[in-house]
Amino acid sequence: MTIDWSAFTPISALAGGVLIGVATALLLALNGRIAGISGILGGLIDRTPGETGWRLAFTLGLLLGPAAWLLFAALPAIEIRADYPMLVAAGLLVGIGTRYGSGCTSGHGVCGLSRLSPRSLVATLMFMGAGFATVFVVRHLLGA
């Protein structure tokens, strides 16, 4: 195994992790809400009275974050090696998984684990296991 030292960025990764941790802690402390993206977006669709403002602000922050980054640096190049049907299928599978799992990786992996939730531990292990298995099948068994 070799490390691509030009792509090895532990300082920015640590800073990003700290920012995510602080943001989720503040949302929980100040609003009493969990920063799970699927739940936040789902709440925008359901339109619960009194819940729209903070959910919209959170979602806009996710969308405007990369735009703000462009003020200081270039975004990394994005290369997607899949066609549109594959992307649509993957998106639908992720959506179905978040409904069955009662949350997404951000809700369970970041917020649930920090609260020592056993359900979130199981969900995160399942997310990671499914990801590992998918990469193994696609790269080693299908030869992609």
Give residue 144's pLDDT: 60
Indicate the pTM of the whole model.
0.69
Cβ contact 65:42 at 8 Å: no
Extract the tokens encoding 127: 């997310």
In the structure encoding, which two tokens stand for residue 31, read together?
């609003």
Reported confidence tier of residue 33, pLDDT bands at 50, 70, 90? confident
Query: What separation in angstroms does the CA of 86 have from each of 73, 82, 94, 134?
Result: 31, 6, 12, 14
Mean pLDDT is lowest, of 5-9, 23-27, 33-37, 90-94, for 5-9
Q: Residue 1 pLDDT more than 70?
A: no
pLDDT of 48 higher than 80: no
Please write the tens of the pLDDT for every residue from 62-72. 899 888 888 88
